[in-house]
Amino acid sequence: MEHVLIIGGGVGGALAHDLTLRGFRVTLVEKGELLSGTTGRHHGLLHSGARYVLHDPAAARECWEENQILRRIAPQAIEPNDGLFVALDETDLSFREPFLEGCAAAGIPAREISVDEALARVPGLNPEAKAAVRVPDGSMDAFRLALPFFATARANGAEIRPYCEVTALERRGGAVTGVQVCDHRTGRSETIGADLVVNAAGPWAGRIAEMAAVQVPIQPAPGVMVSVAGRLTHMVVNRLHPAGEGDIIVPQRRLSILGTTAWLADDPDRVTAPAAHIRRLLTLGAQLLPAVRSLQPHAVWSASRPLLRTDPALDPYSISRTFDCFDHAVRDRVEGLVTLIGGKATTMRAMAEKSADLICRKTGRNIAGRTRETVLRPYRGYWRQAVP
Ligand SMILES: Cc1cc2nc3c(=O)[nH]c(=O)nc-3n(C[C@H](O)[C@H](O)[C@H](O)COP(=O)(O)OP(=O)(O)OC[C@H]3O[C@@H](n4cnc5c(N)ncnc54)[C@H](O)[C@@H]3O)c2cc1C
């Protein structure tokens, strides 16, 4: 049985679930606690894909397909509350027709509703709203969506090792044959051999690639989020205009999360939450839901998107949100290493499926994936199994 070692316990680490179902032996190492990277710190939007229909239609279709699958396999993580795209001025209104056409082309069931109905559904909405389109967005809990993948992987035999940081890749004759890790709980270093190493280190994927002297098209793109106390809306509220800063409010339990900003960074360890971004999010959020104006931030945080750089565009909003995986044997003549980059929490299952398909082709296994139909174990199962 081939042994696959996965580096990174975030969205990319969901590959452990797919591979164990296909009969691989899997070890996952994560330098911190599971989900301590970007995956534990996003808005919690279950994307319908509508945000991407015009500038990133591939990502839009991926999101909508996965949105429907996640509702079946991880229902406990999802609040099926839907979302509104709201026009506040004439410029927004000019976006309405192309937006509806884009949703139709991507197969996303978007429907214009009257402003009166929008105000009835979201009483805190700006009463000056000029149009509203309802889409199948949802709220999801970042931890409760991801942990079931790890709970199920572990129940199927995966070994998951938090606080184990990869410090080097083992090489033999140019091929990657394993990793050296430092286990931060014991302070000990050890070597773990593997038939294949998967670099799923998100914004840090470039650093892992450097250990094998290869490059990967990763672009860390941080963003700030601000939560305010109180559930100001039960539906997700988006601004009906091209993707940009401060265009979404996501209800999460008794909080409302205002998001987000985006910029390009080189170092994912040096991501701050600039005061100007916080002020901007509060200002733009108040345009959608005026109650934001009288509220102070409850919490502020930032995280880095691990974007797949497919073109030299420098606008962080226009870089695609799709994903890809690379066999470095084909790309760089380095055997034994695969890298997975990009995507969203919403597309984590699909990212795992595409990577596992590649790994099956590479290892000569003809085993179909089963993650579309496999209902995941409850998130609590991860912690229960973690207790010795
Ligand atoms: C501001 C913002 C808002 C977002 N909002 C949403 C949203 O609402 N909905 C949605 O679907 N998506 C959203 N996303 C996108 C989503 O959060 C990311 O695409 C996803 O979490 C990235 O997962 P990842 O596994 O690639 O990276 P990560 O979650 O960062 O996982 C990589 C892991 O690798 C580990 N690692 C790194 N180096 C090593 C090493 N040497 N050894 C061992 N482990 C290592 C890290 O500690 C980390 O845990 C958002 C992203 C951002 C930045």
**Amino acid letter, residue 213:** A
- Quote the pLDDT of residue 385: 67
- Quote the pLDDT of residue 313: 66
Q: Please choose from 36, 204, 238, 300 the residue to mutate so as to test ligand 1's pocket, defined by most ligand atoms within 8 A of CB.
A: 204
**What phi and psi, each to the nearest 5 degrees, are found at residue 37?**
-85, -140
Low-confidence ranges of the chain (pLDDT < 70): 313, 385-388
Query: In CATH, what class is 80-139+219-308?
Result: alpha beta
Residue 288 to residues 129, 226, 262, 314, Cα–Cα distance (Å): 8, 15, 19, 28
Within 8 A by CB and 6+ apart from 12, the residues are: 6, 198, 200, 201, 202, 340, 343, 348, 351, 352, 355
| Domain boundaries defined on the chain | 3-39+144-217+320-386, 80-139+219-308
Closest atom of ligand 1 to 12 CA is 25
- Quote the pLDDT of residue 314: 73
Q: Please choose from 42, 63, 192 the residue to mutate so as to test ligand 1's pocket, defined by most ligand atoms within 8 A of CB.
A: 42
Positions of E strands within 159-296: 159-161, 164-172, 175-183, 188-193, 196-199, 218-229, 236-239, 248-252, 255-259
Query: Maximum Cα–Cα distance for the chain, whole Å?
Result: 68
- Quote the pLDDT of residue 213: 97
Q: Cα(67)–Cα(244) distance, rounded to whole angstroms? A: 22
List all residues whose CB is within 6 A of at least one atom of ligand 1. 7-12, 29-32, 36-39, 42-45, 47, 165-166, 200-204, 223, 225, 259-260, 303-306, 343-346
Residue 275 DSSP label: H
Superfamily of domain 3-39+144-217+320-386 in the CATH hierarchy: FAD/NAD(P)-binding domain (3.50.50.60)
Cα angle: 34, vertex 235, 224; to 5 degrees: 45
**What phi and psi, each to the nearest 5 degrees, are found at residue 141?**
-85, 125
- Quote the pLDDT of residue 231: 96
Token look-up 């996501």 returns 250
Q: Please choose from 38, 190, 263 the residue to mutate so as to test ligand 1's pocket, defined by most ligand atoms within 8 A of CB.
A: 38
